[in-house]
Chain A
Amino acid sequence: MHFDNKGGTRDGPPVDATNYASAILNILDDAAEEKTRLTGTQRAVLNILDDFTDERNRLGEAQKAVLNILEDSNEEKLRLADTQRAILNILDDAASETIRLEATQKAILNVLDDSAEEKTRLTETQRAVLNILDDFDLEKKKVEQVNAELRNEIVERVRAQEALGRANTATEAANHELEAFSYSVAHDLRAPLRSIDGFSQALLEDCAGSLDDQGKVYLGYVRESAQQMAQLIDDLLALSRVTRSELHRAPINLAAIAKTVLAQLQRNEPDRIVDVVIPEKMTAHGDAGLIRIVLENLLGNAWKFTRKRARPRIEFGWMPRTGETVYFIRDDGAGFNMAYVGKLFAVFQRLHKANEFEGSGIGLAIVHRIVRRHGGRIWAEGEVERGATFYFTLEEET
């Protein structure tokens, strides 16, 4: 503060007075200073107030601005809300788009999955095809191998067939020759015999006067021999016919055939009494014609070789053996020595003297051949004067 010098304090009052004056002056000085200070403070306050006003103005402005701003912000807020809404809409849209996208993606993924599966399947199929091709290759190789084998087999077969053909041709040629031979035998060998017999007979009839008894006996021998030879020729032809003829197998009743054969034998020698034992039925599978020849020979032999028995017995039967049926014809006649059994079935082999029992020795050879042609076997057992038994089968042994 600052004071003015009106009380005199400053210019020298008297010491008491002067002291006062000085004191007043001091006080006045002090008050001036105080006033300066106050003015400074006032000024500062005013300044402050000024500043405050400014500040207030500024504040107002600021408030205004803020309000503006707030207003703006409100609008902005509205806009923002709109924008937000729009954004939300967009976001909504985006969300549904996303869902769609996801769905599409999923679909695509599914498609891709499917495609992957498809690819896997394709791969598998491809692999399978490759395997098949591999297999096919193998198979082809196998087929080629088999083909090669087949070709070889065909070649072998053709070779075999050719061999068979040659054998057949040879057989045919042999058969042809046999036929020609038999034909010649049948036609040509008999004619001279007929002459021998016929002209011997003519001699006996027409020239009986020029022949003595001995001559007639001799001519009788000539005729007998001619007839015997004719019989041999017939037997040989019969034997060859058995070989030449075809075999026609069918079910046959051996018992029935045997009965007709025995009935014929009985008619030829009605006085003979023979006990015959034959079952009612005895079936076989064979050629009826040829089997009849077998039975004619075997039963004929039994009939013949029991001639010296008063009441002979002839039995025709069968017995089962492992896998086959064995037929047998048994008699209690002259029998034979087993030492010669090997000759029994050979052509022109006889075990009895001609004046004892007639025969050409061909019958059992024919029987043997027929049985063999049926795939069967024949064998015999005998004892001199105690009878004979002939066994035979008609099928291949199984």
Chain B
Amino acid sequence: MKERAILLVEDNPKDEALTLRALKRNGIANEVTVAHDGAEALDYLFNTEPDRNWNTGDLPAVVLLDLKLPKVDGLEVLKRIRGSDRTKLLPVVILTSSNEEQDRLAGYKFGANSYVRKPVEFNEFADAVRQLGLYWLILNEAPPAREGPLPHGT
């Protein structure tokens, strides 16, 4: 079975490099697609720009979503993900600099599966990325691609 990709939505190239480095250092070899703003992330997820030819139709295993993004911000991306039948069950982890209450509240309110603050200290950051990869790529069972009928009695 093909390992599913990670979608990293990150506008800061240095943070992108550090995240990729942390993933690599933790032995996470899954393909990582990087969207550099919210609009790109939506293009990727909804395949609205087929010319870019970057999506085979499979959804990523997890979206690592920054909040402060150019064009379309992270919360808006999250809302769009939750608002579409195709993506509403997609695991989304908010990975951001802020641990401000308002950000955390909004993140969970709009349906984030997890909220992780990027530590400044690289070792802590690398550890956070390692745990995220471990959890969402290995431990967590992804939702089925298509919704089947719910069992009786629920």
A binds B: yes
Pick from A197, A199, A237, A245: contact of B121, CB below 8 A: A197
Interface residue A195 (Cβ < 8 Å from any Cβ of B): yes
- Give the distance in Å from the alpha carbon of A275 to the alpha carbon of B104 in the complex: 39
Q: Which residues of B contact A245 (CB under 8 A)?
A: 101
- Give the distance in Å from the alpha carbon of A48 to the alpha carbon of B112 in the complex: 179
Interface residue A241 (Cβ < 8 Å from any Cβ of B): yes
**Shortest distance between the CB of A344 and any CB in chain B (Å):** 28
Contact bitstring A222-260, B, C-beta under 8 A = 1, else 0:
010011001000000100010001000000000000000
Pick from A188, A190, A198, A241: contact of B18, CB below 8 A: A198
Interface residue A193 (Cβ < 8 Å from any Cβ of B): yes
Q: Which residues of B contact A199 (CB under 8 A)?
A: 14, 18
Question: Are B122's CB and A198's CB within 8 A?
Answer: yes
Question: Are B14's CB and A195's CB within 8 A?
Answer: yes
Question: Are B100's CB and A198's CB within 8 A?
Answer: no
Question: Are A193's CB and B14's CB within 8 A?
Answer: no
Q: A197-B121, A198-B125, A230-B120 are contacts. A187–B15 as well, Cβ < 8 Å?
A: no
Question: Are B120's CB and A193's CB within 8 A?
Answer: yes
Among A179, A183, A186: residue with most chain B CB under 10 A? A186
A-B contact list, 15 entries, CB within 8 Å:
A183-B103, A186-B100, A190-B97, A191-B14, A191-B15, A191-B97, A194-B15, A194-B119, A194-B120, A198-B14, A198-B21, A198-B125, A200-B122, A201-B123, A237-B100
**Shortest distance between the CB of B117 and any CB in chain A (Å):** 9
**Shortest distance between the CB of A275 and any CB in chain B (Å):** 35
11 further A-B pairs in the complex, CB-CB below 8 A; given A179-B102, A188-B97: A186-B103, A187-B97, A187-B98, A190-B118, A191-B97, A194-B14, A198-B18, A200-B122, A223-B122, A226-B120, A230-B120
Pick from B67, B101, B120: contact of A187, CB below 8 A: B67
**Category for how many chain A residues contact B:** 20 to 34
Number of interface residues of B (CB under 8 A): 22
Closest to B11 in A: A191
- Give the distance in Å from the alpha carbon of A241 to the alpha carbon of B104 in the complex: 14
- Give the distance in Å from the alpha carbon of A183 to the alpha carbon of B98 in the complex: 8
Taking beta carbons and an 8 Å cutoff, which residues of B are in contact with A? Answer: 12, 14-15, 18, 21, 67-68, 96-103, 118-123, 125
- Give the distance in Å from the alpha carbon of A369 to the alpha carbon of B121 in the complex: 29
Contact bitstring A146-161, B, C-beta under 8 A = 1, else 0:
0000000000000000
Pick from A183, A188, A191, A197: contact of B122, CB below 8 A: A197
Q: Which residues of A contact B119 (CB under 8 A)?
A: 194
Q: Which residues of A contact B123 (CB under 8 A)?
A: 201
- Give the distance in Å from the alpha carbon of A202 to the alpha carbon of B125 in the complex: 13
Q: Which residues of B contact A306 (CB under 8 A)?
A: none
Q: Which residues of B contact A230 (CB under 8 A)?
A: 120-121
Pick from B12, B100, B118, B121: contact of A227, CB below 8 A: B121
Closest to A201 in B: B122
**Shortest distance between the CB of B95 and any CB in chain A (Å):** 12
Q: Which residues of B contact A187 (CB under 8 A)?
A: 67-68, 96-98
- Give the distance in Å from the alpha carbon of A202 to the alpha carbon of B22 in the complex: 10
**Shortest distance between the CB of B34 and any CB in chain A (Å):** 16
Interface residue A393 (Cβ < 8 Å from any Cβ of B): no
Closest to A186 in B: B98
Interface residue A389 (Cβ < 8 Å from any Cβ of B): no
**Shortest distance between the CB of B125 and any CB in chain A (Å):** 7
Among A187, A191, A202, A241: residue with most chain B CB under 10 A? A191
Interface residue A297 (Cβ < 8 Å from any Cβ of B): no
Q: Which of A154-207 contact B (CB under 8 A)?
A: 179, 182-183, 186-188, 190-191, 193-195, 197-202
Q: A202-B21, A230-B120 are contacts. A183–B100 as well, Cβ < 8 Å?
A: yes
**Shortest distance between the CB of A241 and any CB in chain B (Å):** 7
